[in-house]
């Protein structure tokens, strides 16, 4: 990987640690990280991860092959990063719009001259790093393009140095709260449904679909109790403006995700092509309800979901169980859309989060 220049005290601390522990990565080594499983720079509050070359095999062999690849062509005199060039490289750009790609380039942090959407304004090393990151693990680009400072529910991106990527440490995994008091679990469940809504419907008209949803992919802030996504590697972004403009077949027909009754943990059933071609999709509600909240959720040998064992009066009332079941495995046409809306409102009432 081409070494990036990271700025700020956190990134400088990261570079110091990186230089002491690992040699510079060869061109074409690993290109991104998952922020949560890594270590931490002592005293910095920075979560780190080493980016290896597993995806690409030998760094040397990759470096020799790069001049003959699409990366090398795009690293030449190409003015713009276009959908035709990168479509399908990763979940992030499975169906990219020009508006999304301009956003990715403009907000790319590993350049001294950020702010321009023109690919040619980046240096050769910066362009190559951007392209490799986009192709092999685009998580850092998700964090940069949809930053926590603007209210997006992702960990804060701090910087990079060589193979290392730094993000803010959020807190313990959601899994740690599986047996928390009922009131706490209700609040976390409400936040998860709010995240599903924000990623699905927002003023920017980008739908961010979570393709990998489990208790380990979210964390909870120890002070503010805020739920944050800490694994953003598998996020598909669909541009609703582009869908409305191009009007693919059935673009305005509401899409209901199919309940997946499998024997494995954290199962999800989805079609990337449909996610990319419909304006109204219930995928995020389905993913959160099935894999985290409802009785169908299984993880590490447990069942019952985050809202297991409700107080007797709530269990007797039956409304919560009915909403969770309809959200996970709807019996009515478009039932999940309505159930998700009512579930958000009901959880807000239960947790006194009415806003």
Q: Which residue has the higher pLDDT, 47 or 228?
A: 228
Same domain, 248 and 307: yes
- Domain boundary pick from 137, 168, 199: 168
Highest average pLDDT, of 7-11, 203-207, 263-267, 298-302, comes from: 203-207
The answer to whether 235 touches 91, Cβ cutoff 8 Å, is yes
* DSSP letter assigned to residue 259: P
**113 and 133 together in one domain:** yes
Yes or no: say if 25 and 163 are a contact pair by the CB < 8 Å rule.
Answer: yes
Per-residue confidence band for 72, with pLDDT thresholds at 50, 70 and 90: low
**Are 201 and 150 in a shared domain?**
no
**Is the residue at 35 inside a domain?**
no
Percent of residues, the chain, with pLDDT higher than 90: 61
Question: How far is 98 from 116, CA to CA, in rounded Å?
Answer: 14
Same domain, 222 and 340: yes
Task: Please report whether residue 21 resides in a domain.
Answer: no
**Span 262-291, mean pLDDT?**
92
Q: Is residue 41 part of a domain?
A: no
Q: Is residue 290 part of a domain?
A: yes
Q: Do both 244 and 342 map to the same domain?
A: yes
Alpha helices in the chain (DSSP H): 9-21, 59-65, 70-74, 83-86, 98-106, 124-136, 139-145, 182-200, 240-246, 272-275, 283-288, 312-317, 319-328, 335-350
Residue 289 is given by DSSP the state I
- 135-169 pLDDT, tens digit each: 998 999 999 999 999 999 999 999 887 667 899 99
Q: How far apart are CA 173 and CA 166, in angstroms?
A: 18
Same domain, 213 and 301: yes
315 with 206, same domain: the answer is yes
Across residues 40-50, what is the average pLDDT?
A: 46
User: What is the pLDDT at residue 77?
Assistant: 61
Q: Is the pLDDT of residue 17 over 80?
A: no
pLDDT confidence of residue 30: 29
Beta bridge partners of 161: 164
Q: What pLDDT is recorded for position 279?
A: 98
> Residue 309: pLDDT above 50?
yes
Average pLDDT over residues 82-102: 96
Tell me, yes or no, whether 276 and 151 share the same domain.
no
The closest of 87, 91, 133, 85 to 110, measured between CA atoms, is 133
- Asked whether residue 354 carries a pLDDT value surpassing 70, the answer given is no
* 100 confidence band (pLDDT: 50, 70, 90): very high
- Which of 94-103, 123-132, 333-342 shows the lowest mean pLDDT across its residues? 123-132
Split at pLDDT 50, 70, 90, the class of 176 is very high
- Provide the 8-state DSSP code for 354: -
Which pLDDT score, from 0 to 100, does residue 123 have?
Answer: 83
Mind giving me the DSSP string for 190-214? HHHHHHHHHHHS-TT-EEEEES---
Region 302-307 average pLDDT: 91
Cut 0.85: pTM above it = no
Rounded Cα gap, residues 341 and 201, in angstroms: 12
Are 243 and 279 within 8 A, CB to CB? yes
Q: Return the higher-pLDDT residue of 264 and 26.
A: 264
Range of the domain at 226: 174-354
Of the residues 168, 189, 218, the one at which a domain ends: 168
Tokens of 230: 């800490």
Closest CA relative to residue 2, chosen from 38, 22, 21, 30:
30
Q: How many domains would you assign to the chain?
A: 2
d(CA 243, CA 249): 10
């Amino acid at each position: 990987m081409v070494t990036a220049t990271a700025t700020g005290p956190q990134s400088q601390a990261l570079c110091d640690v990186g230089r002491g522990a690992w040699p510079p990565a060869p061109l074409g080594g690993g290109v991104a990280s998952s922020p949560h499983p890594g270590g931490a720079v002592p005293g910095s509050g920075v979560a780190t991860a080493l980016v290896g070359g597993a995806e690409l095999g030998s760094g040397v062999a990759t470096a020799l092959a790069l001049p003959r690849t699409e990366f090398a062509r795009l690293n030449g005199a190409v003015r713009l990063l276009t959908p035709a060039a990168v479509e399908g490289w990763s979940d992030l750009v499975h169906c990219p719009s020009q508006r999304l790609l301009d956003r990715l380039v403009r907000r790319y942090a590993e350049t001294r001259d950020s702010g321009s959407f023109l690919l040619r304004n980046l240096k050769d090393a910066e362009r190559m790093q951007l392209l490799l990151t986009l192709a092999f693990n685009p998580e850092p680009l998700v964090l940069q393009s949809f930053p926590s400072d603007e209210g997006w529910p992702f960990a804060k991106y701090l910087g990079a140095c060589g193979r290392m990527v730094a993000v803010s440490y959020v807190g313990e995994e959601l899994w740690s709260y599986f047996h928390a008091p009922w009131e706490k679990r209700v609040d976390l469940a409400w936040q998860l449904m709010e995240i599903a809504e924000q990623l699905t419907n927002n003023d920017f008209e980008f739908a961010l679909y979570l393709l990998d949803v489990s208790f380990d992919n979210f964390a909870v802030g120890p002070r503010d109790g805020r739920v944050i996504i800490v694994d953003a590697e598998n996020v598909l972004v669909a541009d609703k403006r582009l869908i409305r403009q191009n009007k693919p077949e059935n673009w305005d027909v509401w899409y209901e995700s199919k309940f997946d009754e499998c024997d494995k943990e954290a199962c999800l059933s989805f079609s990337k092509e449909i996610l990319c071609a419909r304006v109204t999709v219930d995928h995020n509600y389905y993913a959160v309800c099935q894999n985290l909240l409802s009785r169908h959720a299984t993880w590490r040998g447990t069942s019952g979901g985050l809202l297991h064992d409700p107080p007797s009066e709530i269990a007797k009332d039956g409304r919560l169980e009915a909403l969770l079941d309809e959200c996970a495995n709807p019996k009515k046409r478009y039932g999940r859309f309505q159930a998700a809306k009512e579930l958000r409102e009901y959880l807000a009432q239960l947790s006194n989060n009415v806003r």
